[in-house]
């Protein structure tokens, strides 16, 4: 009957258990970056339900250049120049972003940047008090074409955006609009041009200066899809154009894309308003762990026969048959974590401990597989552990007081962007998580005992080096290692509470154990590997915790 495997396939048995791969050093931990795979925000409602957006046969603006006009001498003032810079940087950021990519379903390639100008003559109107007053905007474009500032539309069609100056008001209930007109050359030449205007916005209750770009994107996507009132729209072009539908009740559906506030627009592919979003959203957890000493238990032990199984093979592994000392220090453990984010403009955090949502101050009881000690004997079994927590926005502090055990607990945080407005069906949510290691008890063995164990390990390593470098003919075992197996994933299962120091030691010991299986027959390799693992806290804990999770006996010696 073959011997049982020393280590079962822990990866299969434990699944996605996250171990010490997250440890930076003995005090610092961090998770991997969580990157939500959300190329498009999809909103849950609109002003027309899920009605189709239809084409009505007119022209569309595919791949157009965008020209910005700042109308009025105010734009040349210091304040005006500063505001120009904001608008231009935001618009160019939008053009460089994926925002326009979903217009391809309507046969429209994304626009590109052409330039910007300040127009002082004629002067900008002070207000639009009627719908007819808006005609001043296409009249301005007509004059500029006549003055050869811009080419005839049949030579170059341009998407033109006119920004009104500070002090401009409107009483027509419009933040902006787009329209079209034509430049006429006798006798039959009508060249249609397309233009939109955007009112002045400032940081006042109910609006923000960032709303100027939100309005600009609203008008721009409508100008591109329905420039002359017979392109793409849902019901009538006055109320059913592509961005008119992007509302949740009375709330405009918006997000920041590449740092600029934009408005959603309708997507037939999704049957909903959407915003193509940046792809570099990310979040991770990073923090520290610490322990405060409380009490120490001291005692003695005498090595048992199993600890000297390699004595016949390696004299250095013959342990002295005498009493050695040990100490068992107990601690109250604390883990502090915070969230680092990329791209989230107004991140909102939702924390969980072992899958239980937590907020504010409180406590949670978690049933975990823990490592505890009876003397120097390590035990692994389920235990209820009480954790105290304090959540403060992007950070969490977790404490374990008086548990007298070591354990890992999963901590996670869902991060969404609070700057997005409207009811979302598909959100851009990062979910970083890690296993936080709590050290409530630390076993320290007699330094003389440790020296003897290290001498045994060095002797074993030397034996393997000599065996591999010796060129003399030698008898190679016919079945090296036999049925004894070490799962290569065992290092990933070393618990977080073992810290980096013990993880590093586990790697060294595992390398020796692997060499053991390659060159020593199974009847010798099994006891040696078993002894190496039992004397290496990180590996011992990995195996013990796995056994406890599998319902096996979870007690090993130190």
Which residues are bridge partners to 370 per DSSP? 381
pLDDT at 450: 85
* Residues 136-165, mean pLDDT to the nearest whole number: 95
Burial of 38 (0-12, 13-18, 19+ CB in 10 A): middle
- CA Rg value for the chain: 35
Tell me the three state secondary structure of residue 56. coil
- Asked whether residue 405 carries a pLDDT value surpassing 70, the answer given is yes
The half-sphere exposure of 47 on its side-chain side, counting CA atoms within 13 A, is 20
Strands 189-198 and 232-233: unpaired
Contact 538, 5 (CB under 8 A): no
Neighbours of 50 (CB within 10 A): 9
Contact 370, 383 (CB under 8 A): yes
Q: Find tokens 């120490």 and name the residue.
A: 296
- pLDDT-derived band at 92, boundaries 50, 70, 90: very high
- Asked whether residue 537 carries a pLDDT value surpassing 90, the answer given is no
pLDDT at 316: 86
Share the mean pLDDT of the chain: 85
Q: Which pair of tokens denotes residue 180?
A: 């079209």
Tell me what percent of the residues of the chain surpass a pLDDT of 70: 81
pLDDT at 319: 87
- pLDDT-derived band at 481, boundaries 50, 70, 90: very low
> What span, in angstroms and rounded, lies between the C-alpha atoms of 183 and 497?
76
Q: Which pair of tokens denotes residue 294?
A: 């409380």
* Residues 71-90, mean pLDDT to the nearest whole number: 97
Q: Sign (positive/negative) of CA torsion 175, 176, 177, 182? A: positive
- Asked whether residue 190 carries a pLDDT value surpassing 70, the answer given is yes
pLDDT at 56: 93
- Asked whether residue 543 carries a pLDDT value surpassing 70, the answer given is yes
Contact 538, 558 (CB under 8 A): no
- Candidates 257, 279, 281, 278; CA nearest to 34 is 281
Q: Which pair of tokens denotes residue 452?
A: 């003897």
* Residues 285-293, mean pLDDT to the nearest whole number: 92
Model-level pTM? 0.81
- pLDDT-derived band at 207, boundaries 50, 70, 90: very high
pLDDT at 210: 97
Contact 48, 240 (CB under 8 A): yes
pLDDT at 488: 59
- Containing 546, the helix (H) or strand (E) segment is helix 537-549
- Asked whether residue 336 carries a pLDDT value surpassing 70, the answer given is yes
- Containing 282, the helix (H) or strand (E) segment is strand 282-301
In the chain, which residues fall in CATH 3.40.390?
Answer: 45-276
DSSP 149: S
Domain 45-276 has CATH 3.40.50: no
- Asked whether residue 23 carries a pLDDT value surpassing 60, the answer given is no
Residue with the bigger pLDDT between 333 and 545: it is 333
Contact 424, 365 (CB under 8 A): no
Neighbours of 231 (CB within 10 A): 23
DSSP 124: P
Neighbours of 5 (CB within 10 A): 13
Tell me what percent of the residues of the chain surpass a pLDDT of 90: 61
DSSP 31: P
Q: Which pair of tokens denotes residue 351?
A: 């924390």
Residue with the bigger pLDDT between 446 and 482: it is 446
- Asked whether residue 126 carries a pLDDT value surpassing 80, the answer given is yes
Residues 518-548: b if buried by 16+ CB within 10 A, e if exposed? ebbebebbbbbbbbbbbbbbbbbbbbbbbbb
């Amino acid at each position: 009957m073959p011997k049982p495997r020393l280590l079962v396939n822990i990866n299969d048995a434990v699944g996605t258990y996250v171990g010490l791969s997250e440890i930076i050093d003995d005090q610092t931990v961090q998770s991997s970056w969580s990157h939500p795979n959300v190329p498009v925000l999809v909103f849950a409602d609109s002003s027309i339900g899920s009605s189709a957006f239809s084409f009505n046969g007119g022209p569309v603006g595919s791949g157009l250049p965008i020209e910005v006009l700042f109308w009025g001498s105010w734009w040349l003032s210091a304040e005006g120049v500063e505001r120009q810079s904001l608008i231009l940087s935001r618009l160019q950021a939008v053009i460089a972003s994926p925002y326009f990519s979903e217009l391809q379903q309507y046969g429209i390639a994304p626009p590109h940047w052409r330039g910007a100008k300040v127009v002082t003559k004629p002067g900008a109107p002070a207000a639009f008090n009627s719908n007819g007053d808006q005609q001043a905007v296409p009249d301005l474009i007509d004059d500029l074409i006549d003055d050869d500032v811009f080419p005839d539309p049949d030579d170059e069609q341009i998407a033109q955006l006119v920004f009104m100056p500070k002090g401009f008001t409107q009483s027509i209930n419009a933040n902006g609009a787009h329209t079209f007109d034509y430049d006429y050359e006798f006798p039959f030449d009508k060249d249609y041009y397309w233009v939109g205007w955007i009112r002045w916005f400032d940081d006042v209750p109910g609006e923000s200066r960032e709303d100027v770009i939100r309005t600009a994107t609203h008008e721009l996507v409508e100008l591109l899809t329905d420039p002359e009132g017979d392109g793409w729209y849902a019901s009538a072009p006055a109320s059913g154009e592509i961005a008119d539908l992007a509302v949740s009740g009375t709330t405009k559906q918006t997000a920041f894309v590449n740092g600029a506030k934009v408005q959603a627009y309708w997507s037939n592919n999704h049957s909903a308003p959407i915003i193509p979003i940046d792809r570099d959203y990310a979040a991770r957890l990073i923090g520290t762990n610490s322990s405060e000493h409380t009490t120490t238990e001291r005692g003695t032990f005498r090595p048992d026969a199993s600890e000297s199984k390699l004595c016949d093979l390696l004299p250095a592994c013959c342990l002295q048959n005498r009493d050695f000392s040990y100490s068992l220090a107990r601690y109250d453990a604390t883990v502090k974590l915070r969230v680092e984010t990329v791209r989230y403009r107004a991140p909102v955090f939702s924390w969980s401990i072992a899958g239980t949502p937590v907020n504010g101050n409180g406590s949670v009881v978690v049933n975990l597989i823990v490592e505890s000690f009876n003397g120097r004997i390590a035990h692994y079994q389920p235990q209820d552990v009480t954790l105290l927590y304090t959540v403060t926005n992007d950070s969490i502090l977790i404490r374990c007081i008086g548990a007298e055990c070591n354990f890992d607990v999963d901590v996670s945080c869902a991060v969404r962007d609070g700057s997005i407005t409207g009811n979302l069906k598909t959100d851009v949510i990062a979910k970083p998580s890690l296993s936080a290691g709590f050290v409530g008890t630390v076993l320290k063995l007699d330094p003389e005992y440790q020296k003897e164990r290290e001498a045994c390990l060095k002797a074993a390593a030397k034996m393997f080096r000599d065996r591999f470098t010796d060129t003399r003919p030698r008898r190679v075992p016919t079945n090296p290692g036999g049925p004894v197996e070490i799962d290569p994933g065992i290092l990933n299962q070393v618990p977080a509470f073992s810290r980096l120091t013990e993880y590093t030691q586990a790697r060294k010991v595992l390398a020796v154990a692997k060499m053991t299986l390659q060159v020593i027959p199974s009847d010798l390799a099994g006891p040696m590997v078993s002894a190496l693992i039992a004397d290496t806290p990180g590996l011992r804990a990995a195996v013990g915790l796995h056994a406890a999770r599998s319902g096996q006996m979870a007690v090993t010696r130190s």
